[in-house]
Amino acid sequence: MPLDLSTIPIVDHHCHSLLRQQPQDDHGFRNHLTETYFPEMARDHVQHSLVYHWAIRELGAFLGCDPEPDAVHAARRERGVERLARDVVERGNFRTWLIDTGYGTDTTFSLDELRGIVPCEIREIVRLEPLIERLIVEAHGFDGFLEAYREALSDLRSAGYVAMKSVIAYRTGLHIEPVDRATAAVAFAPVHDAARRDGRLRIASKPLLDFLIVAAVEEAARQEIPIQFHTGLGDPDLDLTKVDPAALRLLFSDAYRAAPIVLLHSGYPYARSMAYLAAMYPNVYADFGEVQLFVAGGDLRAVARELVGLAPASKILFSTDASLVPELYWLGAQAGRRALGQVFEEHIADGLIDERTALEMAEMILWRNSERVYGL
């Protein structure tokens, strides 16, 4: 039996808000059990995945109904999103949600609305790329844009944020290179022209993004506020060969040592790289997150083994990366606690640690480290 971690609360240090209008049937729900945006995957294939079958069984138990799709979705519809969200937080023993608000803002609850629904603390993380895109559209030139960008990041805690997040992995990959101001200004011109013409922008200029993300890391170091980076798996927009967290080598230099750097999503499939970086650099933290929702069975335990086996427990943070559907928070918490409990039980049986030490490590990972790193 795995070590029981259910009484240890969770600070979910990276997650997202909930849809006002929830999926009403199994096909709609299946869209949230995959990272792909190709509709035929949810239509034809997700229902044949291990994650799907486990999710239906788990939710049948959670909702008190038969572990069958029709029964699960009838129970979901009957409860509604607000009751589901409250039940997930209370029964899942969530202490805090740190919400990345750069995703799905048109269709999801605002943070104030969410605070009126769920009985846990809600704090905000600012996503850099949407901020950059908005400021470029509004700008009249590079100097004015850069001044506005630096001003927006100048006092993040006073603005209500507990961290920054970058999805540069999706745009140009994680191999960030040094770029000087003059080169960034040259790169800015065609991006700005296109943004002003179209009234919108999805930034993918490598020299400009490299320059701006390094500037954000400099602010993270000055303010000693965390900056998160998407690493590893994601939707088909990213190039999986460019999202190994080890590619962020430039940011691990002494110049940025005061910046808490949080590497998200277990780096999967580069979990070993992530564990190594957290074990080597005092300001780098490894996230045990997202894989709970997409990697079922033994490989989830393997990820937990990689992280716990190399990185100090004081350098590992827990998240679900749940978004849009409240039950995903429940599934992430259940799978994550179980995998950690199984791995710790293995180490107890092997004589590496005792149960007291295992529980102390679990507390660090599930909530204490996040409270310390984010200054909650």
- The arithmetic mean of pLDDT across residues 323-345, rounded, is 96
- The arithmetic mean of pLDDT across residues 299-304, rounded, is 93
Q: What is the spatial distance between Cα 167 and Cα 156, in angstroms, rounded to a whole number? A: 18
* Predicted confidence (pLDDT) at residue 141 exceeds the cutoff of 90: yes
Q: What is the spatial distance between Cα 288 and Cα 347, in angstroms, rounded to a whole number? A: 18
- The arithmetic mean of pLDDT across residues 119-142, rounded, is 97
Domain residues for the domain of 208 are 10-373
Is residue 243 assigned to a domain?
A: yes
Sign of CA dihedral 210, 216, 217, 222: positive
**What is the pLDDT, as a whole number, of residue 338?**
96
pTM of the predicted model, to two decimals? 0.95
Measured distance between the N- and C-terminal CA atoms of the chain, rounded to whole angstroms: 33
**What is the pLDDT, as a whole number, of residue 126?**
97
The total of other beta-carbon atoms located within 10 Å of residue 18's CB is: 27
**What is the pLDDT, as a whole number, of residue 106?**
86
| CATH number, position 179 | 3.20.20.140
* Predicted confidence (pLDDT) at residue 298 exceeds the cutoff of 80: no
**What is the pLDDT, as a whole number, of residue 294?**
87
Q: What is the spatial distance between Cα 319 and Cα 292, in angstroms, rounded to a whole number? A: 9
Angle, in degrees to the nearest 10, between helices 128-138 and 181-198? 70
CA 226 to chain centre: 13
- The arithmetic mean of pLDDT across residues 223-228, rounded, is 98
Contacting residues for 151 by C-beta, under 8 A, at least 6 apart: none
- The arithmetic mean of pLDDT across residues 147-174, rounded, is 97
Angle, in degrees to the nearest 10, between helices 326-349 and 69-92? 70
The total of other beta-carbon atoms located within 10 Å of residue 11's CB is: 24
**What is the pLDDT, as a whole number, of residue 299?**
86
Instruction: Encode pLDDT of 182-200 as tens digits.
Output: 999 999 999 999 999 998 9
Is residue 355 assigned to a domain?
A: yes
**What is the pLDDT, as a whole number, of residue 104?**
72
* Predicted confidence (pLDDT) at residue 295 exceeds the cutoff of 90: no
Per the CB < 8 A criterion, the answer to whether 19 and 325 are in contact is yes
Based on the structure, what is the number of domains in the chain? 1
Is residue 269 assigned to a domain?
A: yes
3-state secondary structure of 244: coil
Is residue 2 assigned to a domain?
A: no
Backbone angles phi, psi at 96, to 5 degrees: -150, 145
Is residue 4 assigned to a domain?
A: no
**What is the pLDDT, as a whole number, of residue 63?**
97
**What is the pLDDT, as a whole number, of residue 1?**
76
Is residue 1 assigned to a domain?
A: no
Looking at residue 95, what DSSP letter applies? E
Q: What is the spatial distance between Cα 350 and Cα 212, in angstroms, rounded to a whole number? A: 47
Instruction: Encode pLDDT of 360-374 as tens digits.
Output: 999 999 999 999 999
Average pLDDT across the chain, whole number: 95
Q: What is the spatial distance between Cα 129 and Cα 156, in angstroms, rounded to a whole number? A: 16
* Predicted confidence (pLDDT) at residue 272 exceeds the cutoff of 80: yes
Helices (H), 123-180: 128-138, 142-152, 168-171
Reported confidence tier of residue 260, pLDDT bands at 50, 70, 90: very high
Q: What is the spatial distance between Cα 214 and Cα 354, in angstroms, rounded to a whole number? A: 42
Is residue 5 assigned to a domain?
A: no
Instruction: Encode pLDDT of 16-36 as tens digits.
Output: 999 999 999 999 999 999 999
Instruction: Encode pLDDT of 37-89 as tens digits.
Output: 999 999 999 999 999 999 999 999 999 999 999 999 999 999 999 999 999 99
Is residue 240 assigned to a domain?
A: yes
- The arithmetic mean of pLDDT across residues 333-359, rounded, is 97
Torsion angle, alpha carbons of 18, 123, 138, 209, to 10:
-90
- Picking from 174, 188, 296, the residue whose alpha carbon sits closest to that of residue 244 is 174
Reported confidence tier of residue 288, pLDDT bands at 50, 70, 90: very high
Reported confidence tier of residue 103, pLDDT bands at 50, 70, 90: confident
